[in-house]
């Protein structure tokens, strides 16, 4: 592409100010009408007679000579300049390019064609870069010359370029920067500010360069506001807006600089967060998440914290940890997570955490794989009862894949009639009378086969599907109740297990009452079984839900009593009528009967009846009967069976609801 010649330009060309400057002769040679107005010129003749060499620093001269070299490569330069026609300061956006002129001696040489954009309204709109600052310095970093915009920002007494550079940045970095430029923070009179910097090397002779040694022209544009916005945008892209922690992208970017390092990754999923979020509102949920993020940040050790989304967090301890140290930090973390928190509207809530742990390089050196491994270990922690930490072991990923499949299949399981109820009688060991029947949900998937209730109920709780699942159970129990009473007795009641994630929902009681009314059932027909892990948070919420259930006529049973740390602390506060003694105590009857008797006496003191779970042997029934613990449940009497297996006067029961030796199913 040929550069234009001055003779091809006309004074009326374009509305934008356009003028031509002879860099070598240091004078104007042409301008259109708009340019004359911009430069406050009375005429083209007066404009061309101005002496621009008088106030032009050598730094600016060398900058312009550098531009001429770029024009020979058909480059254009866009820059903000500050001009002072007749003492009036104006900041102008200028596009620079080359143009051929014929000098007074008749020789053609390259000059500078300038097209300006100037508008006071545009300048007042803000977001306008600073005028170009030009600095000339030698190979030792000594400043030779600078223009007024540079002196205004950095001061007129700057001698060494190094004095404005960050401590970690050497002169060689600036000298090798090139015309493409870099963004760099420089030390100005206003403090550290971001600039876009470009450097060109000059070899032409000048008043300070008689030996033709190389020297440098540094051009600076103040980009502080733009850079701060870029940094803020980048931080937002890497950060979780709610908690201020890193997000997944930020975590991966941060850890990319730690390849090959030893570190330990904790993957944390909160237990019981969704019911709180649903019950108390998203503001309370957000407040709780911010609090828990703060808990993570205050854990001991050098670390980085991230929120992956929802109620899932990651803490990476940036050091090699032995297994004992990992378990100690996990215990401390779990303790801190489970402490009660006051959120919106003075609501006192508590959650816990399930933690999966994977370490580099033992488990993997890849951060993506470590996250998957720790996630799989976290799922194992949930399977084992939650509120615990599990260290990753090979093969755990397959269990996590299984969880995903269960979640995908769950929606269609009710519609496709894959769920069914089994019932297990609770017997009076003295007379064989069936007193209660426990309803137990079962799921037989066509391809996955029988699924453990512990497994799919945990998935339902975590995914928010537990309310639908338990509502199906309650409907089915209401439908089955007449048949059960026909086969046993009119006094038999059904026990139903209720999840904490369902119980804590604000409309739980009203929806439960509506379901019962739909099938003409009453609260007196049922006993609601609640585990200690469910009951403790409800008690701390002033028992409001439990008291309402009892007032409606429901009876309550504490399931798996004795397995939690809080049994003795809370039993006096529970409005329960039954306590189900965990199978672990029944299995040890031959070694330890004192614990059983202690639990019995404690329950009697609070007017609660004991139910022994997991009774499998005749001698266990003998000990229990002798201890006056008559309500018994287990394989010795009957396994959980579909309703159709309990035929009137058949193998498992009689019309009077009495189990005989011949009617027991056996283990």
Residue 60: CB partners within 8 Å, gap ≥ 6?
A: 134, 145, 147
Assigned domain for 620 exists = yes
Query: Is the domain of 177 the same as that of 264?
Result: no
The pTM of the full predicted model, rounded to 2 decimals, is 0.58
Query: Is the domain of 60 the same as that of 137?
Result: no
CATH number, residue 605: 3.20.20.450
Assigned domain for 28 exists = yes
pLDDT one-digit tens code per residue, 219-232:
898 989 888 888 88
Measured distance CA(584)–CA(624) in Å, rounded = 14
pLDDT one-digit tens code per residue, 178-205:
767 889 999 999 999 999 998 888 765 4
Query: Is the domain of 93 the same as that of 140?
Result: no
Q: How many domains does the chain have?
A: 4
Query: Is the domain of 213 the same as that of 325?
Result: no
Q: How much is the average pLDDT of 397-417?
A: 88
Ranges 84-93, 278-287, 424-433, most confident: 424-433
Overall size of the chain counted in residues: 667
Q: What is 202-254 written as a DSSP string?
A: E-S--TT-TT---EEEEEEEE-HHHHHHHHHHHHHHHB-TTT-SB-HHHHHHH
pLDDT of residue 170: 80
Assigned domain for 552 exists = yes
| Structure-model confidence comparison of residues 571 and 84, the more confident one | 84
pLDDT of residue 664: 39
Alpha-carbon dihedral 204, 208, 214, 215, rounded to 10 degrees = -110
pLDDT of residue 562: 72
pLDDT of residue 81: 83
Mean pLDDT, the chain, whole residue set: 86
Measured distance CA(553)–CA(435) in Å, rounded = 18
pLDDT of residue 663: 39
CATH number, residue 326: 3.30.70.270
Q: How much is the average pLDDT of 537-549?
A: 73
Assigned domain for 503 exists = yes
pLDDT of residue 666: 33
Residue ending a domain, choose from 185, 203, 229: 229
Query: Is the domain of 172 the same as that of 115?
Result: no
Residue 21 to residues 6, 140, 238, 279: CA-CA distances in angstroms?
11, 32, 48, 74
Measured distance CA(328)–CA(282) in Å, rounded = 33
| Structure-model confidence comparison of residues 146 and 516, the more confident one | 516
Query: Is the domain of 363 the same as that of 278?
Result: yes
Exposure string for 488-512, b = 16+ CB within 10 A, e = fewer = bbeebbbbbbbbbbbbbbeebbeeb
Residue ending a domain, choose from 74, 102, 124: 124
Q: Is pLDDT of 426 > 90?
A: yes
Q: Is pLDDT of 242 > 90?
A: yes
Query: Is the domain of 338 the same as that of 221?
Result: no
Q: How much is the average pLDDT of 208-237?
A: 78
Query: Is the domain of 347 the same as that of 267?
Result: yes
Structural domain for 289, as ranges: 243-394
pLDDT of residue 655: 43
Measured distance CA(470)–CA(449) in Å, rounded = 21
Q: Is pLDDT of 629 > 60?
A: yes
Q: What is 297-365 written as a DSSP string?
A: HTSSSSEEEEEEETTEEEEEE-S---HHHHHHHHHHHHHHHTS-EEEGGGEEE--EEEEEEEEETTT-S
pLDDT-wise least confident of 148-162, 370-384, 535-549, 613-627: 535-549
CATH number, residue 190: 3.30.450.20
pLDDT of residue 205: 44
Query: Is the domain of 37 the same as that of 61?
Result: yes
Assigned domain for 410 exists = no
Measured distance CA(160)–CA(239) in Å, rounded = 39
Residue ending a domain, choose from 104, 124, 144: 124
pLDDT of residue 651: 40
Q: Is pLDDT of 126 > 60?
A: no
Assigned domain for 598 exists = yes
pLDDT-wise least confident of 104-113, 261-270, 424-433, 520-529: 104-113
| Structure-model confidence comparison of residues 82 and 210, the more confident one | 82
Assigned domain for 667 exists = no
pLDDT of residue 4: 64
Q: How much is the average pLDDT of 517-521?
A: 96
Confidence of residue 119 (pLDDT cuts 50, 70, 90): low
Query: Is the domain of 268 the same as that of 153?
Result: no
Q: Is pLDDT of 539 > 70?
A: no
Query: Is the domain of 247 the same as that of 316?
Result: yes
Q: Is pLDDT of 211 > 80?
A: no
Query: Is the domain of 513 the same as that of 625?
Result: yes
Q: How much is the average pLDDT of 430-457?
A: 94
Q: For Cα atoms 359, 364, 370, give the angle at the middle one, nearest 5 degrees.
A: 65
Alpha-carbon dihedral 611, 613, 616, 618, rounded to 10 degrees = -20
Q: How much is the average pLDDT of 280-308?
A: 93
pLDDT of residue 340: 87
**Chain center to CA of 591:** 50
pLDDT of residue 649: 42
Confidence of residue 662 (pLDDT cuts 50, 70, 90): very low
Assigned domain for 664 exists = no
* Residue (of 299, 240, 310, 241) closest to 266 by Cα position: 299
Q: How much is the average pLDDT of 516-543?
A: 82
Measured distance CA(583)–CA(546) in Å, rounded = 25
Give the rounded percent of residues in the chain with a pLDDT score beyond 90: 54
């Amino acid at each position: 592409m040929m550069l234009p010649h001055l003779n091809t330009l006309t004074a009326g060309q374009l509305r934008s100010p356009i003028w031509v400057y002879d860099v070598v002769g240091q004078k104007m040679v042409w301008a259109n009408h708009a340019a004359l107005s911009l430069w406050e010129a009375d005429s083209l003749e007066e404009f061309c007679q101005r002496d621009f060499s008088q106030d032009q620093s050598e730094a600016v001269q060398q900058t312009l000579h550098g531009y001429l070299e770029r024009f020979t490569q058909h480059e254009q330069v866009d820059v903000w300049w500050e001009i002072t026609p007749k003492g009036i300061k104006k900041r102008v956006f200028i596009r620079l390019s080359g143009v051929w002129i014929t000098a007074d001696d008749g020789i053609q040489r390259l000059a500078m064609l300038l097209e300006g954009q100037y508008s006071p309204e545009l300048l007042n709109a803000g977001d306008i870069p600073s005028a170009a600052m030009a600095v000339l310095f030698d190979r030792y970093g000594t400043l030779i010359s600078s223009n007024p915009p540079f002196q205004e920002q950095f001061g007129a007494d700057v001698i060494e370029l190094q004095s404005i550079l960050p401590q970690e940045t050497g002169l060689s970095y600036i000298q090798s920067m090139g015309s493409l430029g870099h963004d760099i923070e420089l030390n100005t009179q206003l403090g550290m500010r971001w600039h876009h910097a470009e450097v060109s090397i000059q070899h032409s002779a000048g008043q300070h360069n008689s030996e033709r040694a190389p020297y440098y022209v540094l051009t600076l544009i103040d980009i502080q506001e733009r850079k701060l916005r870029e940094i803020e945008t980048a931080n937002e892209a890497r950060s979780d807006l709610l908690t201020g922690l890193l997000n997944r992208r930020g975590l991966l970017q941060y850890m990319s600089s730690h390849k090959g390092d030893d570190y330990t990754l904790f993957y944390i999923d909160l237990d019981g967060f969704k019911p709180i979020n649903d019950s108390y509102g998203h503001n309370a949920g957000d407040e709780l998440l911010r609090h828990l993020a703060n808990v993570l940040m205050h854990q001991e050790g050098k670390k980085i914290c991230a929120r992956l989304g929802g109620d899932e967090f990651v803490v990476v301890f940036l050091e090699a940890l032995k297994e004992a140290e990992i378990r100690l930090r996990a215990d401390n973390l779990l303790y801190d997570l489970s402490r009660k928190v006051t959120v919106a509207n003075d609501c006192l809530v508590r959650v816990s955490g399930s933690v999966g742990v994977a370490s580099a390089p033992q488990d993997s050196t890849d951060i993506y794989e470590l996250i998957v491994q720790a996630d799989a270990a976290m799922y194992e922690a949930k399977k084992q009862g939650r509120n615990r930490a599990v260290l990753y072991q090979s093969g755990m990923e397959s269990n996590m894949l299984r969880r995903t499949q269960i979640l995908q299949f769950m929606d269609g399981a009710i519609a496709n009639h894959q769920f069914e109820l089994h019932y297990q009688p609770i017997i009076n060991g003295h007379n064989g009378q069936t007193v209660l029947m426990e309803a137990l949900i079962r799921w037989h998937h066509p391809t996955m086969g029988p699924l453990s209730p512990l497994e799919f109920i945990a998935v339902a709780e975590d995914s928010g599907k537990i309310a639908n699942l338990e509502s199906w159970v309650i409907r089915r129990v209401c439908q089955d109740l007449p048949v059960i009473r026909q086969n046993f007795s009119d006094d038999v009641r059904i026990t139903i297990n209720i999840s904490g994630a369902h119980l804590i929902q604000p409309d739980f009681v009203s929806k439960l009452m509506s379901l019962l009314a739909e099938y003409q059932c009453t609260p007196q027909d049922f006993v609601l079984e609640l585990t200690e892990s469910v009951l403790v948070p409800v008690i701390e919420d002033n028992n409001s839900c439990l008291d309402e259930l009892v007032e409606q006529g429901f009876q309550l049973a504490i399931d798996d009593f004795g397995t939690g740390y809080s049994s003795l602390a809370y039993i006096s506060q529970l409005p329960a009528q039954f306590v189900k003694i965990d199978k672990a105590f029944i299995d040890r009857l031959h070694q330890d009967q004192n614990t059983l008797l202690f639990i019995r006496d404690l329950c009697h003191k609070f007017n609660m009846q004991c139910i022994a779970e997991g009774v499998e042997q005749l001698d266990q029934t003998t000990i229990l009967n002798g201890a006056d613990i008559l309500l018994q449940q287990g394989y010795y009497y009957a396994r959980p069976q579909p309703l159709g297996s309990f035929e009137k006067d058949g193998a498992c029961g009689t019309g009077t609801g009495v189990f005989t030796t011949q009617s027991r199913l056996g283990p």
